Structure 1
Amino acid sequence: MNNRVFSAGYRYWVFSLLAVGVFLRVMHYLGDRALWMDEAKLALNFVQPPTWSIFQPLLNNQIAPVGFLLIEQFAVGWLGVSEAALRFYPLVAGVASVFLIYKLANKIFGAWVGLMALGIFSVSHWAIYYAAEVKQYSSDMMVALILYVVAAYALDKWNTTRWLILTAAGIIGVWLSHPATFVLAGIGIGIGVQSIARKQWSNVARLGISAVIWLGSFAFGLYATSTIGSGATAAGSATFSHMTEVAWTSTFAPFPPMSLSDTRWYWAAFFRVFNHPLGFATQGLAAFLFLTGIVHLWSRNCLWLGLLVLPMLVALLASALHLYPFSSRLLIFLVPGTIIIIAAGIETLRQLAWDKCRPVWFLAIGVLLLQPVWGAFSNAAHKIPYDRENIRAVLEHINQFKSTDDRIYVYARAGSAFRYYRSQFAFSEDNIIWGNSIRSSWDVYLGDINRIRCFNRVWLVFSHVETNKAGVDEERYLLHSLDKNGQQLDTVKASGASGYLYRFDPDTSSESCDSITLTGQK
């Protein structure tokens, strides 16, 4: 009777948590938030001529796996150009991950670990957020989980058929997710070491063949979206590579660590993972449970501990070689495995404290999950969950109230989102003033101000505003400068975006107001 009651209660919690995970992701998707800068940069490859095709580099210096791009291209062709179409595959990947993490954790580590891993993942902030983001990060999680599930299936009864299935999954996986290579490396190393210890040389040979095939598939997938063979973009690619190296410098592991500062980098990076991409406000408690889970699994299931931890170590090695940043969203593929280990740590504490210190266990779980649960449901309650840079609302206001001769100044970092949405409005190219990169020099910044003042009425559009190297908020500084010679007539504010209407008395006879300036500068 007790077993039947437990089974019924357990199934209730599983179904409830599955429903919660799906509900939170679908609510985010249905909120239809506007694309922010990074999303728009990728989306323009599918909606702005010339659209992307295989064996061509992506516009706007974007990087994404070729399989993900092909699916996005198909979705836009099938469903039409819209945020819903672009986010459909990330949603599918996010929802699938909810079911996959339970299947994996339950199969490998048992019912309680499966239930707790499902509960944590269902309300995980970044797992929910990326389930409706026009980026490949949701796919990264799903692919990692699929590879683990296939590996678990193969390890149940290792034979030629299951080895071939695992190999095929890896071939497809690296086309859908770049960090799938780290997951496959962890799987290959873990199973390979076990096979060597057991002197199963045929398994070692098979894994060697799989590794070569996976690397070949990954290399071909990179080639399909690279600038190799495209002389016109070679210089731009080199410049972008340099800019990327500079931007991500702090995320590359110092190796070998030669100073106390280098050592602190590893300590800080370890705890940062529990905030982003894992989404815990209490990083210390999450880290403690993670380490507890490692100790628990070391004696219970060392092979699977290795399979879950090794991808993190391989990614860290790639970071030390300056091949892959060890930071935030780029580590989203580690979320499922890390959550499973944390769930194992929670289960260990439950076993130790259930009889004598049960309130302590409930308190620890409450502290760990209070912020994720509250954040997940409070975001779902918003009209637009996870609203970030709503430039669409700003442009709707401008389109409603602008006059025929009004000009529109587009702040440099708002350019990609503006280009994505401009087709929805009657904004003439001749009326657009494209802002230059204000960060490059103060002369360019002052040039933008002078160009704006050459017109009678100008709408200013801002989003993704940051401070420059001098610590100056560019939007505030620009508005402050324009207030000296112009009159602000209208203001529209939205989440992460804003618009302003100014009126000037321009001197069109001045040298700064020549014909090139009047048509704007793209």
Structure 2
Amino acid sequence: MPFPLKSALKDKFSYYLFLLIIVLGVFLRLYHYFINRSLWLDEGYLASSLLNFNFQQLLTKPLDYQQKAPIGFLLIVKLFLNIFGHNEYGLRIVPLLSGLLSILIFIPVTKYFLKRTGILVAMAILCISPAFIYHSVEIKQYSTELLCSILSFYLFIKYRTLNGFKEIIIWSLGGSITLWFSFSAIFILGGIGLGLSIYYLIKKQWNILFKSLIPFIIWLISFILLFVFFINKTPDAEWVVNWFRFYGDFMPLPPKSVLDLSWFFTSFYRMLDYPMGLLWNFVESGTQTHFYTPFIKMPFLPFILLGAGIYFSFKKSLQNFNVLVFPLLLVLLASGLELYPLTERFWLFLTPIFMLLIGIGLDCLIRSKPLKIIIVFLLLISLVIQSFQSITNSATFYKHKKSYQKESFDMINKEFKAGDAVYVYWNELPGFKVYSNLKKYKFNAIEGQDFRWNSKNLAEYNAKLDSDFKKIKNNKRVWVIFNNKFLSNVGDPISMPKWYYENKNLPAANLKTELSKIGKFIKTSNTADVSVYLYQITNQPNKINP
């Protein structure tokens, strides 16, 4: 899997620019890995099972908090945890290695599909775009799924000719194993298989069609076994489907209105932002949104290049066109059937297709060298600035996922005194349980109960909340920590129970009001997602001398 030769990139400058892009991609991933940012709540949900389950339990038990992840991913992360110990670096090593391998394996993929400018642009998007960097150090499966997509295209390039028995075996086993590390690989491999089969039928290439059925059937058998023994045991809960349906993340099938048709523009527009990083989001535009806001973020350029890439891919090679387009068609069909949502991270595994199509469009559409330089600059300027900002100001790096759980728990641990109590509100318990496993704090926290579902109104809720507070009334001080960003629990219907979410005082203001009945407020620490309050207990029960 050698780097592109200088002849492929035409000149020495392009070659050294290519090497610089690779170095930047590796550096950015390692940098964010070693700064060791706090796990955010969604990472904590999956980390809970990885930290507490053994290998057998990962194979046989449903994951905590209704999480789902490919069994191969879970087992290899657990292996690294056993090697490196229970810490954040051990949790994140598999996503990091997936991110680094994605860069290396994408090199021969770009060499096959693209020319000089396309190679540089596709590699730059993968190496420097913030989303790819972010997910390379997130303890979720998305970085590994991206790797599996790239690996699927690499296997196609390497073994598509099926000249010998060895190639058939390697392609069959490679695709079959990939499925166990990535749920989404079925779309990529299925699309490749379907696209190639249709191509061979059109071209009447019967010999290679029949030979290619061997790996395709073996992939299908592998997926069936995976589905029967693992995926089918943890079916999607109805609340998950309702959640994505509510936010419009499923493709309308069929589109029945102008609003339905607008889904395609909106979804692909958002995809250009996250995960591709191509929209001009490097300038803060304030909180007010105008009708023209989407248009000043320069979506036209990537849209035009995508369209050109589809056209020229079809014109130049029907085989390559089928291989790139059919996986996308399968995903859209699955989304229309409400089997796969299309939003943010769920696009990640498809991005190699978009990067290649943009590269093809750029290679074939723009002939003038000066114009090409301008186009490349306009296309990549946003992701370069955003990645630079991720180092100079890490708080802005995907700030909607930025968490300060670790910092908040560490602060309490540092300032905790004898006679103190720590009370964790129910919506911060997942994060606390994970970090208490990782860090071994010197305090034992009182775990708040979720009284929402057995209360009819706020008064009844507060009466039950008081039963929690009785556990801290004998202490001198109490540290109270709660999550002010994630106000529901896994599996909750949206905005239910109604009385809880219609009340603007819940949970923060109400919690502070109730605490003021037993204590005096001393200090606070507020972050983007976690708030900590310290109270001096004043309303202590009278002690009865024996």
Q: Which band: TM-score by shorter chain?
A: 0.7 to 0.9
Label 1:426 to 1:380 Cα distance change in 2 as closer, same or farther (>3 A): closer
Letter in 1 for 2:522: L
Deviation digits for residues 327-382 of structure 1, max 9, x if unmatched?
A: 2212210112211211222223431x33xxx3x54443333222211111221234
TM-aligned CA deviation for residue 26 of structure 1: 0.8
User: Which range moves more in the overlay, 490-499 or 378-387?
Assistant: 378-387
Residue of structure 1 in register with 2:299 after alignment: 283
Structure 2 CA distance for partners of 1:463 and 1:284, relative to 1, 3 Å: farther
**Within 2, Cα distance between the matches of 1:82 and 1:382?**
25
User: Do the aligned partners of residues 17 and 315 (structure 1) sit closer, same or farther apart at CA in structure 2, a change above 3 Å counting?
Assistant: same
Structure 2 portions without partners, runs of 5+: 1-5, 280-297, 488-494, 496-500
> 3-state DSSP class of the match of 2:175?
helix
> Is the Cα contact below 8 Å between 1:319 and 1:326 reproduced in 2?
yes
Match of 2:510 in 1: 478
Q: Does 1:414 align with 2:414?
A: no
Relative distance call for 1:105 and 1:322 in structure 2 (3 A) is same
Q: Aligned pair in 2 of structure 1 residues 72, 223: CA closer, same or farther (>3 Å)?
A: farther
Query: 1:280: Cα distance to partner?
Result: 2.3
How far residue 217 of structure 1 moved from its aligned partner, in angstroms, is: 1.6
Residues in 1 aligned to 2:265 and 2:463: alpha-carbon distance in whole angstroms: 45
Distance 1:50 1:139, change over 3 A: closer
Equivalence for 2:333: 317
Q: Is the 8 A contact 2:451 2:464 kept in 1?
A: no
Q: Shift of the alpha carbon at 1:480? A: 5.0
Contact 2:113-2:360 within 8 A present in 1 as well = no
Q: Decide which of 256, 259, 263 is 2:257's aligned counterpart.
A: 259
Counterpart amino acid of residue 14 in structure 1: F
In structure 2, what residue type is equivalent to 1:203? I
1:43-85 deviation per Cα after TM superposition (whole angstroms, max 9, x unaligned): 1112225673323322221100011011001000111111101
Q: Is structure 2 residue 192 aligned with structure 1 residue 181? A: no
Match of 2:407 among 356, 375, 393: 393
The CA deviation at 1:453 is 4.5
Structure 2 Cα separation of the partners of residues 5 and 345 of structure 1: 17
Task: With the length of structure 1 as denominator, give the TM-score of the two structures.
Answer: 0.86
Kept in 2: contact 1:248–1:325 (CA 8 A): yes
Q: Which amino acid aligns with 1:260?
A: V
Structure 2 residue 522 is matched with structure 1 residue 489:
yes
- In the alignment, the residues of structure 1 paired with residue 258 and residue 9 of structure 2 have an alpha-carbon distance, to the nearest angstrom, of 55
* Amino acid paired to 1:60: Y
Conserved 8 A contact 1:94-1:138: yes
* Structure 1 residue 203, shift from structure 2 partner: 3.0
Letter in 2 for 1:145: I
SS at match of 1:87: helix
Change (3 A) 1:411 1:345: farther
Contact 2:39 2:403 in 1 (8 A): yes
CA distance in 2, matches of 1:319, 1:471: 35
Runs of 4+ displaced beyond 6 Å: 2-5
The farther-off stretch of 27-36 and 302-311 is 302-311
* 1:233-248 matches, cutoff 5 A: 241-248=237-244
Distance in 2 between the 1:304 and 1:408 partners? 60
Q: Indicate the percent of aligned positions where both proteins have the same amino acid.
A: 26
Q: How does 1:98-177 map to 2 (within 5 A)?
A: 98-156=103-161, 158-177=163-182
The verdict on how the C-alpha distance between 1:164 and 1:138 changes in structure 2, with shifts beyond 3 A counting, is: same
Q: Is the 8 A contact 1:33 1:386 kept in 2?
A: no
CA drift of 1:241 comes to 0.5
User: Are the equivalent residues in 2 in contact too, given 1:102–1:118 (CA < 8 A)?
Assistant: yes
SS at match of 1:53: helix
Equivalent pair of 2:114/2:363 in contact (CA under 8 Å): no
Shift of 1:446: 3.0
1:63-102 to 2 correspondence within 5 Å?
63-102=68-107
75 and 386 in structure 1: CA distance in 2 versus 1, 3 angstrom threshold: farther
Change (3 A) 1:437 1:200: farther
1:255-300 CA-to-partner distances (Å, cap 9, x unmatched) read 1222222222223222222122222224333222211221222212
From 486, 502, 522, give the equivalent of 2:535: 502
Q: What is the rounded CA distance, in whole Å, between the counterparts of 1:195 and 1:366 in structure 2? A: 39
1:406 counterpart letter in structure 2: D
Tell me the CA shift for residue 397 of structure 1.
Answer: 1.1
Distance in 2 between the 1:170 and 1:5 partners? Answer: 30
Find the aligned partners of 1:474 and 1:225 in 2 and give their Cα distance: 39
Give how far 1:130 is off: 0.4
Q: Which residue of 2 aligns with 1:205?
A: 210
Give the TM-score normalised by the residue count of structure 2.
0.83
Task: State the Cα distance separating 1:474 from its structure 2 match.
Answer: 4.1
In 2, Cα distance between the equivalents of 1:474 and 1:158? Answer: 66
Q: Could you say which residue in structure 1 is the equivalent of 2:46?
A: 42
On the 8 A contact 1:40/1:417 being kept in 2, the answer is yes
| Contact 2:162/2:168 (8 A) holds in 1 | no
Query: Is the Cα–Cα contact under 8 Å of residues 56 and 226 in structure 1 kept in the other structure?
Result: no
Q: In the alignment, what sits opposite 1:231?
A: none
Task: Flag structure 1 segments of 5+ consecutive residues without an equivalent.
Answer: 229-236, 510-522
SS at match of 2:403: coil
Shift of 1:128: 0.7
- How far apart are 1:96 and its partner, in Å? 1.1
Report the secondary structure of 1:33's partner residue. coil
Q: For the residues of structure 2 that align with 1:413 and 1:160, how far apart are their CA atoms?
A: 56
CA distance in 2, matches of 1:208, 1:464: 53
Change in CA separation of 1:57 and 1:402 when aligned onto 2, cut-off 3 Å: same
Structure 2 match to 1:458: 478
1:440 to 1:39, Cα distance in 2 relative to 1, 3 A = farther
User: SS of the counterpart of 1:462?
Assistant: strand
